[in-house]
Structure 1
């Protein structure tokens, strides 16, 4: 009995290690959001979406230490759509941006890890605006009137 429990415990530890290693490898393979693209929906609202500058894909991740237009776009979204009014919009992903993102993730039912990636991108509301009119709205990408183009 004691041997069986020990074997089960060892198997559980190994399985947990494999699951963690798989997750780490998957995020390590995803490019970092180093820029932002502007997307336009069917009725003329635009959104700045964090992207991988090199290939323009919005399938990217960013966390503490990241910087640039993608971080700034996220900061403005959290300011307008989630009331993070005191958050600097400086394009620097520091402790304040990480804490704000954790609050936003928790409010949307996500794991609050403070890392922006495809799951967060799809679940949070982004700031869509008509630039020359000062009109904005907060929608998920899936809620914006299609077709969406960049």
Structure 2
């Protein structure tokens, strides 16, 4: 009888350990990010042969743009998102850095317009799939385009 219990115990332990191994092999989405968006970073782009330099503020965790945020966040990262949602998607958010219900609804609108997963949460898919507001350092030109795309911003 004790041999049977020992075999059952070993089988149970093996199942539990394989489950733990599986759990360690599949990281949750949040673990793929540097952290919660806590600031914004400025990205610059000289467009084509133009001598104009354009800048966009992008949500970041420290210096990494691989961050996430959702309702309840309050930071310069939220302000950067709110500016682009207003300028690029015609929303009328107060640029207050508060990711409340209005910012969540505006993000869902933009996600839907771009064919992204509509969940009202900001992460890699939103960063890469949304248009960002770019302005010229001298202030007169601006436009909305995705990160990394070659573009010409009209006056």
Q: 2:124 aligns with which of 118, 128, 133?
A: 118
CA offsets per residue over residues 38-74 of structure 1, 9 Å max, x none? 1111231000010002xx1000001001111110010
- In structure 1, what is the Cα distance between the partners aligned to 2:31 and 2:98? 21
**Which residue pairs with 1:141 in the alignment?**
147
Task: Judge conservation of contact 1:41–1:144 (CA < 8 Å) in 2.
Answer: no
Task: Please list, as runs of the form range in 1=range in 2, the aligned pairs for 1:25-64 lying within 5 A after superposition.
Answer: 25-28=28-31, 30=33, 31-43=35-47, 44-53=53-62, 56-64=63-71
Residue 128 of structure 1 corresponds to 134
Counterpart CA distance in 1 for 2:31 and 2:70 is 12
Query: Equivalent residue of 2:78, what SS?
Result: helix
What does 1:83-98 align with in structure 2 at a 5 Å threshold? 83-84=90-91, 86-98=92-104
Report deviation, 1:28: 4.8
Cα distance in 1, alignment partners of residues 88 and 150 from structure 2: 15
Higher helix share: 1
Per the TM alignment, residue 29 of structure 1 is displaced from its structure 2 partner at its CA by 5.2
Higher strand residue share: 2
Following TM superposition, by how much is the alpha carbon of 1:79 offset from its aligned partner in structure 2, in angstroms?
A: 0.4
Unaligned stretches of 5+ residues in structure 2 = 1-21, 48-52
Unaligned 5+ runs, structure 1: 1-17, 146-150
Q: Detail structure 1 runs of 4+ shifted over 3 Å in the superposition.
A: none
TM-score, structure 2 as length reference:
0.73
Please say which structure displays the higher CA radius of gyration.
2
TM-score by length of 1: 0.75
Task: Report the Cα distance in structure 1 between the residues aligned to 2:71 and 2:139, rounded to whole angstroms.
Answer: 34
Return the offset for 1:131.
Answer: 3.2
